[in-house]
C-alpha cells in the first residue's frame, strides 16, 4: 500500500511537467497547469465511504451562490464570495483568522455579483472585485496593501468574475461582460507595487494585425471578454487564456468584415501570450464568426501526452459549443477536436484541420433551436485531469436554446447581445447532464455518469483515484475515477456551483467543497424543472476527512 | 357611460395601445435579450418572469427607472430615451393587468450638451485610450475614478491645462524607491497615498514608518495628457465647464 503510490509518483516525475498539487492548493486550477488534480491518496477508493465532515464555515453571503475555488497554503484556507468578501480560515478547524470586507457600491452590477476565486502570491491575497478593482490583501493580517482600478464598471458594463492568476512577479486578471458593448482585455499587474505591467486587448486596434477582421467601428464594442482563469507554462514562459465571444453575440452582420484570416479576432479563440510582455505568440480561433455565444473562455488544461508516437506539449480546451480542442501549446497547431455533448446541431462537425462545416445560424424574426444553448456544452465549472488514469473528466450539460437574432445598435456598456434566448429541452428528451471520462487526445469516451439536472460544479480528481463534485440538490459525491461508479455522497444542504479542493495538514488529507445554490445558470432551472424553484440558496464550505486513526 | 364619454375615451385608449405596442418593441430589444428576461415577459432565460406577477404600478415604475442595486437589473431611467422608458413601463404595466396611466409618469429629463461639450465628454471618458483618459483620475457626473479631488479650477485653455500646477503632488520614498504620490490620509497606523508613477494610479496603504514624504515632485499634468491634442483638450474643457457647476 505504501510502495504503490511512490511508484506512481516516479512515473509522474518522468513527465516533462507536473500539474499535480500536494499539501497545498496554490492556484485556481490546483497548479498553473489547471489539472484540478491532487496527488494525495490518503482518501481513496477503498476508504472514501468512511469520510466524515470535520468542520463547516458559513460565509453569510449567499447572493448568486458560492462559486469560488478556495486556495490553501501552509495551513490557511482563503475563500472569496460573490460580493467580493474574503475569509482566511484555519484549514484544520475552520477558525476565522481574518475577514476582508469590501465596501460595496450600491449600483447595478452587470450580470449580477459573482466571484469565482482569489489568487495568492507575493505575500498577498489578490481579490478582483466586481466593480473592476484589483486589491492586494496582506496574506497574514488581512490588511489592504494596495488597490488599483482596472476599469469603470458603470461605463464599460464589465466586471471581473474570474480568479486572477499569479505568474512570476505579476498577477494576471481577466474581465467579464463580453456581452456588453466594450472592448475586452487581459491585464498584468506587478505584485509588489500594483502598477500595470501590460494589457493585451483581445480585439486588435487600428494598424494591428487582425484588426481587418472587424467591420467599420465594430471593434470598439466587440466584446471578447477573458472571464475565466488562464494557465501558465513556466518552461515556455507562455500564458494561455480563453477569449469569449464577439458582441453582438447572435448577429455578426455589423461586425464581420470577411477580410483577413479568421473572423472578429481574437474573440472565440485561445491566445498564448509572452508572460513578461503580453505580446501575442499564437492564437487558435475555435469558432470563427461565432453567432451562438460560444465563448472560448474556459480553462486551458496543459498536459504532455503522446500523439501518434511522439510526446507533445498539449493544451486541451473545452469550448462552449460542446467541442473539445487539442492544440500543440508550443505552436498553437490544431491536433484534434471532438464533441463532448450528445446534442449538437449548429454544425455538422469538424474537418481534419479543425474547421466547422455545415453551420446553422440564428435568424431574425424566427426562433431556431440550437444545441448546445448559450450556457454551453458545459458551463464555466471546470474539468479535471488525472495523470494516473490519463482521463480528462468533463461536467457536460445537455440543454438547448431557441434563439432569435435581433439587429441591435451598440451603446457603450449596455447589453449588446443581438438576440433573444429561451432555454429548452433537447429534441429527444429532458435536459440533463453526464460526467464523462475521456481520452483527452482521441476524444474516446471511457465512461459516463448520468445526472437528471445540470452539473454546475467543478470537478476534482485525486491520486486516490476519485473524482469529486457536487450537484444542484446539495449532494457532494465521489466517483471511482476508473469506472465512474458512485462510491460515496453527503448532503451539504444547498446546491453546488463552486469548486472543491483537497489538501494535507499534519498528516491528514482534507477535501473542502463550497456549496450554495445560485448564479445565472441556476436562475434558468425553474423554467426547465419547476420543482427546482424551491431549491434554497446558501454559501458554506464543508470540509471532510477520514476519522482520526483511520488510514 | 354616456355616448359622449366613450367617444372621448377612444383617442386615449388608441394612444395607450400604441404606447403598449411601442413598449413591446423596446422590451424585445432592451429587456428580453440574452441572459435577461424572456420574450413577452415570460421566463425561459435567467431573469424572472414579469407577466402576471401582480406587480403594483409604483413598483414597476420604480424598478424600471431606478433598477435594483446590487443585482443585474439596470436603472433604465438613465439608459433609455424618455419616450422608450415611458413605453416600456406601460408595456410591463399591461403584462400585469394595469391600464396605462395618462398622463405618463415623469422620467428623468435628458441632458443635452452643446456639440463641443458633447465631444469633450466622449474624450473625457474615451475607453479606447485605455488608462490615458481623464476619467482614470477624475470623477465627473458620477463616472470615472475619484483619485484627484473634485475639479474646482478650470484652466482657460489647453496650454494652461497642460501646465496646471499640482503643488499637492509629493515625492514618496518606499523601500528605497522614490515616486510621485498624492497623499490621501496620514493616520497613526497607516498612510494612504496614490502612486502616480504611471496611470492608473495605485492606492497604497503603508505603515507610516515605511514611507518618507517630501514636498513637491517632478510630476507634471502634461505627462498624463499626452494622448490628447490641443483641440481635444479644448473640447474637454468645454465639457468640464458644463458639468462642473460653479
Active site residue A293: yes
Q: Note whether A200 and A186 are within 8 A (CB).
A: yes
CA distance A42 to chain B (A): 41
The answer to whether A152 contacts B144, with C-beta atoms less than 8 Å apart, is yes
The answer to whether A524 contacts B68, with C-beta atoms less than 8 Å apart, is no
Residue ranges of chain A with per-residue pLDDT less than 50 = 1-16
Chain A interface includes B45 (CB < 8 A): yes
- List all residues of chain B from 170 to 229 with a beta carbon under 8 Å from chain A: 195, 197-198, 200-205
Among chain B residues, CA nearest to A194: B202
What are the backbone angles phi and psi of residue B3, rounded to the nearest 5°?
Answer: -60, -35
Residues B225, B122, single domain; the answer is yes
- What's the confidence (pLDDT) of residue A17? 65
- What's the confidence (pLDDT) of residue A309? 95
B77 confidence band (pLDDT: 50, 70, 90): confident
Range(s) of the domain holding residue B133: 116-243
Neighbouring CB atoms inside 10 A of B209's CB total 7
Residues B146, B220, single domain; the answer is yes
Crossing angle of helices B3-30 and B82-95, in 10° steps, is 110
Burial class, A276, CB count within 10 angstroms (exposed 0-12 / middle 13-18 / buried 19+): middle
Tell how far CA A344 is from the center of its chain. Answer: 21
Q: Rounded to whole angstroms, what are the CA distances from B232 to A155, B182, B212, B223?
A: 20, 26, 38, 15
- What's the confidence (pLDDT) of residue A4? 43
Which residue among A41, A251, A293, A295 is the active-site one? A293
Residues B181, B72, single domain; the answer is no
Residues B202, B120, single domain; the answer is yes
Strand order in the sheet with A52-58: A52-58, A540-545, A508-515, A501-505
Smallest Cβ–Cβ distance between A146 and the set B67, B70, B204 belongs to B204
Residues B153, B122, single domain; the answer is yes
Domain assignment present for residue B55? The answer is yes
**Residue A94: which region, alpha, beta or left (left: phi > 0; alpha: psi -120 to 50)?**
left
B13 confidence band (pLDDT: 50, 70, 90): low
The answer to whether B128 contacts A220, with C-beta atoms less than 8 Å apart, is yes
The answer to whether A420 contacts B195, with C-beta atoms less than 8 Å apart, is no
The answer to whether B202 contacts A199, with C-beta atoms less than 8 Å apart, is no
- List all residues of chain B from 85 to 114 with a beta carbon under 8 Å from chain A: none
- What's the confidence (pLDDT) of residue B104? 55
The answer to whether B71 contacts A179, with C-beta atoms less than 8 Å apart, is no
Q: Does the pLDDT at position B101 exceed 80?
A: no
Can you spell out the DSSP letters for A328-389? ETTT--EEEEEE--S---S-SEE-TTS-EES----BBTB-EEESS-TT-SS-SSPPEE-TTT
Question: Could you report the per-residue pLDDT of A297-354, keeping only the tens digit for each?
Answer: 999 999 999 999 999 999 999 999 999 999 999 999 999 999 999 999 999 999 999 9
Can you spell out the DSSP letters for A137-189? EETTT--EEEEEE---HHHH--B--SPPEEETTEEEE--B-TTBSSB-EEEEE
Residues B90, B157, single domain; the answer is no
Neighbouring CB atoms inside 10 A of A222's CB total 28
Choose one of B66, B95, B124: the last residue of a domain.
B95
Domain assignment present for residue B101? The answer is no
Neighbouring CB atoms inside 10 A of B167's CB total 8
Q: For residue B72, list chain A residues with Cβ-Cβ distance below 8 A.
A: 108-112
Chain A interface includes B132 (CB < 8 A): no
- Taking alpha carbons only, the member of A191, A36, A224 closest to residue A121 is A191
CA distance B183 to chain A (A): 14
Looking at the DSSP assignment, which residues form a beta bridge with residue B171? Answer: B180, B214
Chain B interface includes A227 (CB < 8 A): no
Chain A interface includes B35 (CB < 8 A): yes
Burial code (b: 16+ CB inside 10 Å, e: under 16) for B21-47 equals ebbbebbbbbbbbbbbbbbebbbbbbb
Chains A, B: CB contacts within 8 A come to 136
Q: What percent of chain B has pLDDT over 90?
A: 61
Q: For residue A154, list chain B residues with Cβ-Cβ distance below 8 A.
A: 142-143
Please give the tally of structural domains in chain B. Answer: 2
Domain assignment present for residue B86? The answer is yes
The answer to whether B75 contacts A199, with C-beta atoms less than 8 Å apart, is no
- What's the confidence (pLDDT) of residue A184? 98
- What's the confidence (pLDDT) of residue B10? 44
Strand order in the sheet with A96-100: A71-73, A76-80, A86-90, A96-100
- What's the confidence (pLDDT) of residue A472? 97
Domain assignment present for residue B105? The answer is no
B41 confidence band (pLDDT: 50, 70, 90): confident
Q: d(Cα B179, Cα B168) in Å, to the nearest integer?
A: 14
Smallest Cβ–Cβ distance between B69 and the set A107, A151, A152 belongs to A107
Smallest Cβ–Cβ distance between A147 and the set B68, B131, B203 belongs to B203
The answer to whether B203 contacts A249, with C-beta atoms less than 8 Å apart, is no
Residues B169, B236, single domain; the answer is yes
DSSP run (H or E) holding B83: helix B82-95
Among chain A residues, CA nearest to B66: A108
Residues B144, B205, single domain; the answer is yes
- What's the confidence (pLDDT) of residue B44? 56
- List all residues of chain A from 172 to 191 with a beta carbon under 8 Å from chain B: 179, 182-183
Q: The C-alpha cell of B239 is what?
A: 465639457
The answer to whether A419 contacts B44, with C-beta atoms less than 8 Å apart, is no
The residue-averaged pLDDT of B175-181 equals: 97
- What's the confidence (pLDDT) of residue A381? 98
Residues B48, B11, single domain; the answer is yes
Q: d(Cα A212, Cα A219) in Å, to the nearest integer?
A: 9
Q: d(Cα B72, Cα B75) in Å, to the nearest integer?
A: 10
Q: For residue B43, list chain A residues with Cβ-Cβ distance below 8 A.
A: 526-527
Residues B76, B122, single domain; the answer is no
Q: The C-alpha cell of A56 is what?
A: 463547516
- What's the confidence (pLDDT) of residue B33? 79
Interface test with B, best of A112, A207, A368, A411 (most B CBs within 10 A): A112
Residues B49, B153, single domain; the answer is no
Smallest Cβ–Cβ distance between A412 and the set B75, B127, B205 belongs to B127
Domain assignments of chain A as residue spans, ordered by start: 3-545
Q: Does domain A3-545 have CATH number 2.140.10.10?
A: yes
Q: For residue B200, list chain A residues with Cβ-Cβ distance below 8 A.
A: 148-150, 196
Smallest Cβ–Cβ distance between B36 and the set A108, A145, A415 belongs to A415
B105 confidence band (pLDDT: 50, 70, 90): low
- What's the confidence (pLDDT) of residue A103? 87
Domain assignment present for residue B44? The answer is yes
- The radius of gyration of chain A from alpha carbons, rounded to an integer in Å, stands at 22
Chain A interface includes B71 (CB < 8 A): yes
Interface test with A, best of B202, B207, B208 (most A CBs within 10 A): B202
Q: The C-alpha cell of A361 is what?
A: 445560424
- The radius of gyration of chain B from alpha carbons, rounded to an integer in Å, stands at 26
Q: The C-alpha cell of A404 is what?
A: 432569435
CA distance A202 to chain B (A): 13
Averaged confidence pLDDT in chain A: 94
The residue-averaged pLDDT of B123-132 equals: 96
B108 confidence band (pLDDT: 50, 70, 90): low
The answer to whether A148 contacts B34, with C-beta atoms less than 8 Å apart, is no
Q: Does the pLDDT at position B74 exceed 80?
A: yes
Residues B136, B233, single domain; the answer is yes
Amino acid at each position: 500500500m505504501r510502495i504503490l503510490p511512490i511508484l506512481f509518483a516516479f512515473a509522474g516525475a518522468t513527465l516533462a511537467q507536473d500539474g499535480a498539487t500536494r499539501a497545498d492548493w496554490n492556484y485556481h486550477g490546483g497548479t498553473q497547469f489547471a489539472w484540478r488534480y491532487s496527488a494525495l491518496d490518503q482518501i481513496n477508493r477503498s476508504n472514501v465511504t468512511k469520510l466524515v465532515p470535520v468542520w463547516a464555515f458559513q460565509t453569510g453571503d449567499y447572493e448568486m451562490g458560492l462559486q469560488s475555488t478556495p486556495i490553501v497554503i501552509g495551513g490557511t484556507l482563503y475563500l472569496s464570495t460573490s460580493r467580493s468578501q474574503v475569509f482566511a480560515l484555519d484549514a484544520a478547524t475552520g477558525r476565522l483568522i481574518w475577514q476582508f470586507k469590501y465596501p460595496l457600491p450600491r449600483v447595478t452590477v452587470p450580470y449580477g455579483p459573482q466571484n469565482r476565486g482569489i489568487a495568492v502570491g507575493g505575500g498577498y491575497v489578490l481579490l478582483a472585485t466586481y466593480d473592476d478593482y484589483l486589491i492586494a490583501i496582506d496574506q497574514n493580517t488581512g490588511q489592504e496593501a494596495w488597490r488599483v482600478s482596472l476599469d469603470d464598471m458603470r461605463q464599460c458594463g464589465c466586471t471581473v468574475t474570474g480568479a486572477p492568476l499569479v505568474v512570476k512577479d505579476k498577477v494576471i486578471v481577466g474581465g467579464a461582460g463580453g456581452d456588453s458593448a466594450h472592448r475586452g482585455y487581459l491585464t498584468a499587474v506587478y505584485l509588489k507595487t500594483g502598477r500595470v505591467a501590460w494589457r493585451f486587448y483581445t480585439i486588435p486596434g487600428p494598424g494591428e494585425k487582425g484588426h481587418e477582421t472587424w467591420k467599420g467601428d465594430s471593434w470598439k464594442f466587440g466584446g471578447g471578454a477573458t472571464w475565466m482563469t488562464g494557465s501558465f507554462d513556466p518552461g515556455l514562459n507562455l500564458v494561455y487564456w480563453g477569449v469569449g465571444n464577439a458582441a453582438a453575440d447572435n448577429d455578426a452582420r455589423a461586425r464581420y468584415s470577411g477580410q483577413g484570416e479568421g473572423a472578429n479576432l481574437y474573440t472565440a479563440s485561445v491566445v498564448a501570450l509572452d508572460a513578461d510582455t503580453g505580446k501575442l505568440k499564437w492564437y487558435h480561433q475555435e469558432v470563427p464568426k461565432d453567432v451562438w455565444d460560444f465563448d472560448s473562455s474556459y480553462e486551458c488544461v496543459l498536459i504532455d501526452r503522446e500523439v501518434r508516437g511522439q510526446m507533445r506539449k498539449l493544451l486541451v480546451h473545452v469550448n462552449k459549443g460542446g467541442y473539445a480542442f487539442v492544440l500543440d501549446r508550443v505552436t498553437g497547431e490544431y491536433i484534434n477536436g471532438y464533441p463532448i455533448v450528445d446534442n449538437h446541431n449548429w454544425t455538422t462537425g469538424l474537418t481534419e484541420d479543425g474547421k466547422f462545416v455545415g453551420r446553422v445560424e440564428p435568424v431574425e424574426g424566427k426562433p431556431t433551436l440550437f444545441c448546445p444553448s448559450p450556457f454551453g456544452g458545459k458551463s464555466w465549472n471546470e474539468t479535471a485531469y488525472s495523470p494516473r488514469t490519463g482521463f480528462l473528466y468533463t461536467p457536460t450539460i445537455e440543454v438547448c436554446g431557441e434563439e432569435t437574432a435581433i439587429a441591435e445598435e451598440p451603446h457603450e456598456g449596455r447589453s449588446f447581445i443581438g438576440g433573444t434566448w429561451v432555454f429548452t429541452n433537447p429534441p429527444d428528451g429532458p435536459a440533463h447532464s453526464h460526467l464523462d471520462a475521456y481520452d483527452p487526445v482521441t476524444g474516446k469516451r471511457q465512461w459516463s455518469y448520468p445526472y437528471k439536472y445540470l452539473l454546475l460544479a467543478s470537478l476534482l480528481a485525486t491520486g486516490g483515484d476519485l473524482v469529486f463534485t457536487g450537484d444542484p440538490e446539495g449532494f457532494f459525491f465521489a466517483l471511482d475515477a476508473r469506472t465512474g461508479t458512485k462510491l460515496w455522497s453527503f448532503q451539504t444542504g444547498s446546491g453546488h456551483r463552486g469548486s472543491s479542493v483537497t489538501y494535507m495538514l499534519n498528516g491528514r488529507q482534507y477535501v473542502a467543497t463550497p456549496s450554495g445554490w445560485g448564479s445565472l445558470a441556476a436562475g434558468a432551472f425553474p423554467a426547465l424543472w419547476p420543482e427546482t424553484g424551491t431549491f434554497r440558496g446558501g454559501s458554506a464550505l464543508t470540509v471532510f476527512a477520514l476519522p482520526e486513526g483511520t488510514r | 357611460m354616456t355616448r359622449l364619454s366613450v367617444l372621448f375615451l377612444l383617442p386615449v385608449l388608441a394612444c395607450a395601445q400604441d404606447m403598449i405596442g411601442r413598449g413591446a418593441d423596446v422590451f424585445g430589444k432592451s429587456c428580453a435579450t440574452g441572459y435577461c428576461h424572456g420574450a413577452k415577459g415570460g421566463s425561459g432565460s435567467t431573469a424572472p418572469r414579469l407577466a402576471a406577477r401582480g406587480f403594483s404600478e409604483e413598483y414597476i415604475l420604480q424598478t424600471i427607472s431606478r433598477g435594483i442595486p446590487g443585482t443585474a437589473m439596470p436603472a433604465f431611467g438613465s439608459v433609455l430615451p424618455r419616450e422608450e422608458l415611458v413605453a416600456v413601463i406601460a408595456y410591463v404595466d399591461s403584462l400585469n393587468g394595469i391600464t396605462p396611466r395618462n398622463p405618463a409618469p415623469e422620467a428623468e429629463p435628458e441632458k443635452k450638451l452643446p456639440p463641443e461639450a458633447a465631444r469633450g465628454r466622449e474624450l473625457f471618458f474615451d475607453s479606447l485610450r485605455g488608462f490615458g483618459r481623464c476619467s482614470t483620475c477624475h470623477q465627473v457626473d458620477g463616472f470615472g475614478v475619484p483619485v484627484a479631488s473634485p475639479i474646482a479650477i478650470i484652466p482657460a485653455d489647453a496650454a494652461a491645462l497642460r501646465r496646471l500646477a499640482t503643488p499637492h503632488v509629493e515625492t514618496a520614498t518606499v523601500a528605497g524607491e522614490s515616486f510621485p504620490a498624492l497623499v490621501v490620509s496620514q493616520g497613526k497606523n497607516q498612510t494612504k497615498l496614490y502612486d502616480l508613477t504611471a496611470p492608473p494610479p495605485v492606492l497604497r496603504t503603508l505603515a507610516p514608518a515605511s514611507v518618507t514624504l517630501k514636498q513637491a515632485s517632478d510630476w507634471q499634468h502634461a505627462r498624463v495628457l499626452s494622448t490628447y491634442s490641443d483641440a481635444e483638450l479644448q473640447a474637454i474643457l468645454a465639457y468640464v465647464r458644463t458639468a462642473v457647476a460653479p
